[in-house]
Structure 1
Amino acid sequence: MSEDRRVVLVGAGALGSHVLMLGRNWPVRWTIVDFDRVEQKNLASQLHTRMGLGRNKAQALQQLVNGLWGLRVDAVPHKLVEDNAETLLAGADLVLDCVDNAPTRALIARVVRARATPCLHGAVAADGGYARVMWDPVFTPDEAGEGAATCEGGEH
């Protein structure tokens, strides 16, 4: 990857924040998309600090990684939904799906498949007992429910 490449990271929680940390040496332009806010309970499992408490996760992570490693990061403090998915994922050379719900995962899969954009789908169960990473052009997201790699309807 080169500095003119754009990586879109959707989800800046437990998985997404650590993916960004692992990818900090990639010479790329990062875009982080997340609507959620940093809560006290997030500090144990996510790359967020007390300074970010109450702030949007994408913006808090942007400030943190820029200060620590000088990363070029754009923060999008919005939920990825039907109305903005095409725009937010446009121009991505790689999409990293680190969301915690099945509908958003399905939306990402549909948009990247239509654009033939490479995408890595990652998921971790809310209790940390299950993880999965998929790199597959015919990836089909889990349906929401028992055993799905999502924390919908539960604590996260």
Structure 2
Amino acid sequence: MTQQPLNPQSPFFHEERHANLQPFAGRLITICGAGTLGANVGEMLARMGFTQLRVIDKDRIEMRNLSGQPYSRAEVGAPKARALANMLYRAVQTRVEPRVVELNATNAPELLKGSALVVDAFDNAQAREAVSQTTRAASLPCLHIGFSGDGLYGSGIWEPHYQVPQEVPGDPCDYPLTRPLALMLSALAARAITDFFRLDRRHDFELTWNDLNIHY
């Protein structure tokens, strides 16, 4: 079969050289959480060529978010979901549906409806539990991504093998997560997502930061 010539003017030129995402680039991916992992995964997927994203997050950007999340100082105070949607449309014209709302067990079925894939990047057990139960009930593919409280371990686990972690004392946003670890976890998540669409495989993964030990 003759390969179609690549367009050097495409914003996804390098991704297209690696793997053609066009057959599923328009499938709706819902990202739950627009914080350190959710926002970075969303940006990564958009720049890889995925064109239809939905982002659910109730929070607004704070100054402390700027070290690990892809927002600017001028956006402090803006809803994270809307700021991410605006940024990604300006960057590569990815259409992001922002939902500035707190996901719970009651509204989760409506918020996640129509998704080809759900990515759970929430930072609290109640929301993660709602996502897990809703995706299982609706047979929606779901990848849960997260990290440990000490900022040294991260993982991605697909339903139905995911177990919601126990809550820990304190503010879940006050973690020692560095941007390099967040970006590495986001890259592993993006790889797992493309393998799901291209190869119909659900790879769990884990990363231990101290020794850079990666299992995929």
Work out the CA distance in 2 between the residues paired with 1:45 and 1:127: 15
Q: Using the TM superposition, give the Cα deviation of residue 3 of structure 1 relative to its aligned residue in structure 2, in angstroms.
A: 4.7
Judge conservation of contact 2:116–2:141 (CA < 8 Å) in 1.
Answer: yes
Alpha-carbon deviations, 1:64-122, whole Å to 9, x = none? Answer: 11111211111001110122111000111100000001111111000000011001100
Could you tell me which residue of structure 2 aligns to residue 10 of structure 1? Answer: 32
Query: Who is 1:94 aligned against?
Result: 117
Choose between structure 1 and 2: higher helix proportion.
Answer: 2
Q: Is 2:174 the counterpart of 1:155?
A: yes
- Measure, in 2, the Cα distance between the counterparts of 1:126 and 1:67: 34
Give the superposition deviation at 1:4.
Answer: 4.3
- The answer to whether the 8 Å contact 2:136/2:159 transfers is no
Q: Secondary structure at the match of 1:9?
A: strand
Structure number with larger C-alpha Rg = 2
* Cα distance in structure 1, aligned partners of 2:69 and 2:113: 27
Q: Equivalent residue of 2:119, what SS?
A: strand
Matches within 5 A, 1:56-67: 56-67=79-90
Alignment of 1:33 onto 2:52: no
Identity of aligned residues (%): 30
Q: What root-mean-square deviation, in Å, do the aligned CA atoms of Structure 1 and Structure 2 show?
A: 1.9
Deviations, residues 26-73 of structure 1 (Å, cap 9, x unaligned): 334100000001001100000111121101000011111111121111
Bigger shift: residues 58-67 or 137-146: 137-146
Is the 8 Å Cα contact of residues 11 and 99 (structure 1) preserved in structure 2?
yes
| Unmatched tracts of structure 2, length 5 or more | 1-22, 176-216
| Counterpart position of 1:103 | 126
Find the partner of 1:52 among 68, 75, 91: 75
1:30 is paired with a residue whose SS is: strand
Provide the rounded CA distance (Å) in 2 between the counterparts of 1:21 and 1:104. 22
TM-score, normalisation: structure 1: 0.89
TM superposition shift of 1:155: 2.2
Q: Which residue is 2:65 aligned to?
A: 42
**CA shift in 2, pair 1:154/1:14, >3 Å:** closer
Q: Which runs of 4+ in 1 moved over 2 A?
A: 1-4, 25-28, 124-130, 151-156
Which structure has more relative contact order (CA 8 Å, sep 6+)? It is: 1
Go from structure 1 to structure 2 and tell me whether the alpha carbon gap of 1:125 and 1:49 turns closer, same or farther (over 3 Å shift): farther
Q: What amino acid is the match of 1:23?
A: L
Partner of 1:23: 45
